[in-house]
Amino acid sequence: MINPIDLKRSLEHIHTLPAMPVIARKMLALALNTDEGETQLLKLIAQDPQISARIIGLSNASLFGSPGMISSISDAAMRLGLTHIKSVAIGMAAISAFTKPPEGKLKARDLWTHSLTIASVMRTIAKHMPPRIRPMEDQIFLAGLLHDIGYNVLSFIAKDLSDALHERLRTTPEASLLEIEHGLLDTDHGEIGAQLGTYWELPAEIIAVIRYHHIPDKMDSQMNQSLARLVNIAEKLLPDFGITEHAAQEITEQEWINLGIDPSEVDAIAEEIRVIVVQVTQLANAA
């Protein structure tokens, strides 16, 4: 079994990990404010059958509007929006880089379900934020999909440690996540994921979310904390969805105010989120 010292050494040589998938790197570089950029995005997605199939499946789900018979990427783009399918495609490609059999206790499907739900919940919460501090939608969805990629990295390079961590999280749900991770790994999944994000040259705001989504108050005050706060609240609202990660925690009024949301809106937001959870569950079961 790899130990924390060996894990640290592996992370010091993070360049030996899989490079960012070519399709994800190309999509990150695309600007969608030109016809050429839009055309190139659709071509890139169409070249990957697995990503294409999953995006078409998402576009046919009630989670993203009225269900319908979407059968092409161009139709999916009209249903979901280009920025949305760009984020989903990048997220899928990035996560797939760390999928290898046999799986341990961390199941790729469970983590994808968790990440997709968190991204969808973030988008719902963001609609209640003032426009002046609301992150861009493509940032919201990409941050939600990639915030836990450190778990993928850990399972890829140290499956035994990953298994031990997820067993500990399952059997001690009342304990502090970060205390468990630092005690077992001498680091945490946020830092692991952020190191990968730096290696992959992900946007700085996405790297910050990956690193600080459990501790948004630790971010530099000069940085926009809204994305990390959105992830943090979404995970507190769904402490045990898809994967066991969070002890149930109360969300304070101040946390909602930090997002520019009046606490009186919380009950309505919670009802919207309950609908989303049902829809994602149905989508995951149908996959």
Torsional sign, CA 128, 133, 135, 136:
positive
Terminus-to-terminus CA distance in the chain, angstroms? 33
- Say yes or no to pLDDT of 284 above 80: no
Asked if pLDDT for residue 257 goes beyond 90, the answer is yes
Residue recorded with tokens 């399972």: 155
Between 126 and 174, residue with greater pLDDT = 126
| Per-residue tokens: 218 | 């630790």
**What tens digit of pLDDT does each residue of 217-238 get?**
998 877 789 999 999 999 999 8
What are the residue ranges spanned by the domains of the chain?
4-16+102-286, 20-96
How many separate helices (H) and strands (E) can be counted in the chain?
A: 16, 0
Smallest CA-to-CA distance from 197 within 279, 189, 267, 268 is with 189
pLDDT number for residue 77: 86
Superfamily of domain 4-16+102-286: Hypothetical protein af1432 (1.10.3210.10)
Give CA–CA dist 58/52, Å, rounded.
Answer: 10
d(CA 196, CA 207): 9
The answer to whether the beta carbons of residues 78 and 70 sit under 8 Å apart is no
Q: Are 260 and 224 in contact (CB under 8 A)?
A: no
Q: What is the per-residue pLDDT for 245?
A: 75
- How large is the C-alpha radius of gyration of the chain? 18
Query: Which of 173, 171, 182 is CA-nearest to residue 215?
Result: 182
Burial class of residue 218 (count of CB atoms within 10 Å of its CB; 0-12, 13-18, 19+):
exposed
**82-120 confidence digits (pLDDT tens):** 888 899 899 989 988 888 778 899 988 889 889 989 999
